[in-house]
Structure 1
Amino acid sequence: MRIITGEAKGRIIKAPEGMNTRPTLDRVKESVFNIISNKIYDAIVLDMFAGSGNLGLEAISRGAKFCTFIEKDKSAYKVLKENIKNLNFEDRSKAYFGDSFKIIKNLSKENFKYDLIFLDPPYGRGMVQRAVEAISENRIYNDNTFIISELDEKDDIPEIVGIFKNFRTEKYGRCKIIFWVKEDKYE
């Protein structure tokens, strides 16, 4: 994996060993970032289920102001911290180790609001729906928050989850990417 463009263009991102994480492929990542390109600069980003930090690190490289990373796998978290350090992004990020749902509950108590939220959990466990519901319930969004989720093509999810509506779906081989916006912002 590598950073595609921006300040850290071409820099390598380490991936954790083993099968506990499934990094987003570079071609999928590039397509996603092309779609959201006008939403990145100065954004406050949350990368839930961060793994190596691939998505959040790309966002920082492209001009995001800050990224919060959450990862609960120990080896993935260790690699995530290394990647942040190797790219010199420590001053524009914070990594949390633990359960994403518990951590966003705590972030909501501190009144954190995110412009972009990446959700790339393990496939087939209904975690995207659960995460979008938790984002809604914990109010860690603002009026223009954009959620980008990655799912297996076979994973079913309602068109509306919490206060967010499926704005756009793209398929890339076996994965599908769903872009969510607040329902009242849907055009």
Structure 2
Amino acid sequence: MRVISGNCKGRKLKSVPGKSTRPTTDKMKETIFNWIGPYFSGGSCLDLYAGSGGIGLEALSRGMDFAIFVDNNKQAIHTIKTNVSICGMDDKCEIYNNDSERALRAIDKRKLQFDLIFLDPPYKRQKLESLLEMIEKKSLLKQSGCIICEHDPEVALPETIGGLEQVKSASYGMSSLAMYIHEKKRGSTDDEHRSMPGKL
């Protein structure tokens, strides 16, 4: 596993020991960052169910300037800390060993908002809809931001959730991706998304 582009391109990342986490493949990373970037001039990222921290670190490598990593697995937290140090990104990161919903409530209390939110909950305990509803209700996504969900292909996510709209989707074998943005951005082009410095 590695960082595939940006300032830390080629850095080899540690994987979480065991089979409790499922790393996002390089092909899926490329798809995600082609959808939303591929590079940034600042911005913030929330990597929920962060696992090894690969997505958040990829975002930082490509130009975002702040990321919060959350996972309730202590081995994952140790791995994230190791990978953050490998990339020299310690001053740009906050890492929390916490449940996803508790973490979102804590973030809400701090009045934080993000340009990119990545959700990759365990497939066997899939709760993406409730997480999306919580994120939308608490206004944790910036108006110009987006949410990327990685999920089981058998899970059919709704086209809209509150004020969020699903605008892209793709499947790769045993995993699928879906992208949500605020509905008010409907009709804007992919190039318009990419041309907004630091705002996806």
TM-score (norm 2): 0.89
- Offset, 1:63: 0.4
- Structure 2: 5+ residue stretches without partners: 188-200
Q: How many correspondences in the alignment?
A: 187
Mapping for residues 6-45 of structure 1, pairs under 5 Å: 6-37=6-37, 40-45=40-45
2:125 partner SS? coil
- Offset, 1:92: 0.8
- Offset, 1:38: 5.1
| Cα offsets for 1:113-170 (capped at 9, x unmatched) | 1011111111143322121111112221221120011011101221112321111111
Mapping for residues 3-82 of structure 1, pairs under 5 Å: 3-37=3-37, 40-82=40-82
Q: Is the 8 A contact 2:68 2:95 kept in 1?
A: yes
CA distance, structure 2, for counterparts of residue 96 and residue 37 of structure 1: 26
1:177 partner SS? strand
1:95 correspondence with 2:79: no
Residue number in structure 2 paired with 1:118 = 118
TM-score (norm 1): 0.95
1:163 correspondence with 2:163: yes
AA aligned opposite 2:161 = V
AA aligned opposite 1:15 = S
| Cα offsets for 1:85-106 (capped at 9, x unmatched) | 1211011111111111111111
| Cα offsets for 1:62-114 (capped at 9, x unmatched) | 00011111111111111011111121101111111111111111111111010
2:176 partner SS? strand
AA aligned opposite 2:35 = I
Residue number in structure 1 paired with 2:172 = 172
Q: Is the 8 A contact 1:124 1:155 kept in 2?
A: no
Q: CA RMSD in A?
A: 1.3
Segment of structure 1 superposing worse, 31-40 or 115-124? 31-40
- Offset, 1:39: 6.7
Which structure carries more relative contact order (alpha carbon 8 Å, separation 6+)? 2
AA aligned opposite 1:78 = H
CA distance, structure 2, for counterparts of residue 105 and residue 39 of structure 1: 29
CA distance, structure 2, for counterparts of residue 186 and residue 123 of structure 1: 29
Q: Is the 8 A contact 1:45 1:68 kept in 2?
A: yes
AA aligned opposite 2:180 = W
CA distance, structure 2, for counterparts of residue 124 and residue 144 of structure 1: 31
| Identity among equivalent pairs (%) | 35
- Structure 1: 5+ residue stretches without partners: none
